[in-house]
Amino acid sequence: MTATAVQDSIPAHVPPELVGSFNFYTSEQMVPTPMGDPQAATSVLHSGPPVFYAPNNTRNGEGTWVVVRAEDQRKVLQDGVTFSSNRRLFASALGEDWPLIPLEIDPPDHAKWRSLLNPLLSPKRVVAMEPIVRERAVEIIEEIRRSGNSCNAMDDFCLPYAVSVFLQFLGIGTENLRTFVDWAMDQLHGAPDKRTAAARRFIAWLDELQAERRKRPSDDFMSFVTQAEVDGRRMTEHEVRAMSVLLLVAGLDTVAAAVGFDLYYLARHPEQQTLLRTEPDRLVLAAEELLRAYPTVTPTRKATVDVELAGAPIKAGDLVACPAMTANRDPAEFADPDSIILDREDNRHVAFAYGVHRCLGSHLARREIVIGLEEWLARVGPFRIKEGTTPITHGGFVFGVKDLILAWD
């Protein structure tokens, strides 16, 4: 965008002194960057106003307010009435208009959907899923080891791992793993036309699975939701679709990116790598610290009324972005926020957000990260970024790292 176009897109109620020059899509370190550190690059925002306006701060180039501090983000994310998540983003990309369930449903309706889903991914349920998660991790890592002593961490490990755990949760086999990984890549990182095509394929595939499970239920997620009742009636086909498609977009790339950033960090810090390999009990706490340092998601809301937040005159209809990256490096919340301290205690990071939409999959995601790293460290041995290769990091909708080629002896 040219400077004048940006200027034109700033609404009149935004005071000029609150217009920031940083956005999460096109600023330095947010664009694809060799050996970058995009989360750390957002730390500078703590020296500016606590809430500022970023023109061009969504995938579609809309402007948003950016809430920098953890405490202010908590106010936004814990108040789903003033700050609505009914944005219908996924549907609008398809030229349609329906909410993802439960992400784009506001309180009080949100609770009934959430209550239905909570038991499926509760901490106790996740404990029962662990053996399968570990089996998947081991299978994929062993295949990598058989094929040599280097690999593309995202394509060969992180994504297939996240996808196969997910397919297991949905209740289907992993024969189509590769196709699925390709779809996921297109859906999340492809050019807009590829994203739309991939989204339609996902939907068609989920519709088919739904029809199949309605006819012949088994004991998996899809069978559960096709049988489940809300408000004393069965869910409609459309509701089942809006729910299952959300799990797909929410639970694949996020897990893969988290494991990817962790491996990227460990590849550059051999002494920490050795510590976690020799004392795997440290992984639970270390994974929390890495989630704090390398979160990937920016929950975004739409104001329903005019409201002032930390000096910013937000108007009904404005978008309000709460990047986990800045909250997680808030000096008011974390001592020495830019240092990675693998045994940090009292770590109230917001990688999974706050409030009613707190990540439904957080308990599963936490275990996937810990188990994935544990098996990787134990089986692969000391690893590094392969000589002559350069990982590329990026900001945006979901932060990520690619071209992460790891090598070992």
Q: Which partner in other proteins, ligand HEM, none is near 133 (CB below 5 to 8 A by kind)?
A: none
Closer to other proteins at the Cβ: 124 or 215? 124
- Answer for which of 41, 181, 360, 370 binds ligand HEM (CB under 6 A) is 360
3-state helix, strand, coil in the chain (%, to 5): 50, 10, 40
- Answer for which of 185, 245, 255, 290 binds ligand HEM (CB under 6 A) is 255
Write down the least CB distance from residue 246 to ligand HEM, Å. 5
Could you say whether residue 336 binds other proteins (CB under 8 A)? Answer: no
Could you say whether residue 359 binds ligand HEM (CB under 6 A)? Answer: yes
What is the Cα–Cα distance from 339 to 331, expressed in whole angstroms?
11
- CA end-to-end span of the chain, whole Å? 47
Stretch that binds other proteins, among 49-57, 119-127, 184-192, 375-383 (CB under 8 A): 119-127
Could you say whether residue 246 binds ligand HEM (CB under 6 A)? Answer: yes
Quickly tell me which residue has 């439904």 as its tokens: 360
DSSP letter, residue 386: P
Decide: helix, strand or coil at residue 350. coil
Question: Is residue 253 within 8 Å of residue 400, measured between CB atoms?
Answer: yes
Quickly tell me which residue has 């090598």 as its tokens: 407
Question: Is residue 49 within 8 Å of residue 67, measured between CB atoms?
Answer: no
Residues in a beta bridge with 71: none
Site string for other proteins, 235-274 (x = CB under 8 A): ----------------------------------------
Stretch that binds ligand HEM, among 48-56, 294-302, 309-317, 330-338 (CB under 6 A): 294-302
Question: Is residue 84 within 8 Å of residue 304, measured between CB atoms?
Answer: yes
Q: Helix crossing, 159-170 with 177-189: angle to 10°?
A: 110
Q: Which partner in other proteins, ligand HEM, none is near 205 (CB below 5 to 8 A by kind)?
A: none
Q: DSSP of 355-377, one letter per residue? A: STTS-TTHHHHHHHHHHHHHHHH
Question: Is residue 237 within 8 Å of residue 246, measured between CB atoms?
Answer: no
- Residue 267 one-letter amino acid: A
- Residue 244 one-letter amino acid: S
Could you say whether residue 115 binds other proteins (CB under 8 A)? Answer: yes
List the interface residues with ligand HEM, window 61-100 (CB under 6 A): 85
Could you say whether residue 250 binds ligand HEM (CB under 6 A)? Answer: yes
Residues in a beta bridge with 313: 308
List the interface residues with other proteins, window 361-400 (CB under 8 A): 362-363
Write down the least CB distance from residue 33 to ligand HEM, Å. 21
CA distances from 373 to 45, 97, 100, 126, 181 (A): 31, 39, 31, 17, 20
Could you say whether residue 351 binds ligand HEM (CB under 6 A)? Answer: yes
Stretch that binds ligand HEM, among 1-9, 211-219, 245-253, 278-286 (CB under 6 A): 245-253
- Answer for which of 107, 347, 392, 402 binds other proteins (CB under 8 A) is 347
- Residue 262 one-letter amino acid: D
Write down the least CB distance from residue 301 to ligand HEM, Å. 7
Could you say whether residue 130 binds other proteins (CB under 8 A)? Answer: no
Q: Which two tokens stand for residue 111?
A: 């609770």
Q: Which partner in ligand HEM, other proteins, none is near 390 (CB below 5 to 8 A by kind)?
A: none
Query: Nearest 5 degrees, angle CA 393-CA 397-CA 402?
Result: 25
Residues in a beta bridge with 104: none
Helix (H) or strand (E) holding 80: none
Q: Which partner in other proteins, ligand HEM, none is near 152 (CB below 5 to 8 A by kind)?
A: none
Closer to other proteins at the Cβ: 74 or 329? 74
Stretch that binds ligand HEM, among 10-18, 151-159, 214-222, 354-362 (CB under 6 A): 354-362
- Residue 288 one-letter amino acid: E
Binding site for other proteins (CB under 8 A): 74, 78, 115, 118-119, 121-125, 284, 345-350, 352, 354-356, 358, 362-363
Binding site for ligand HEM (CB under 6 A): 85, 102-103, 114, 121, 246-247, 250-251, 254-255, 258, 296-297, 299, 351-353, 357, 359-361, 364-365
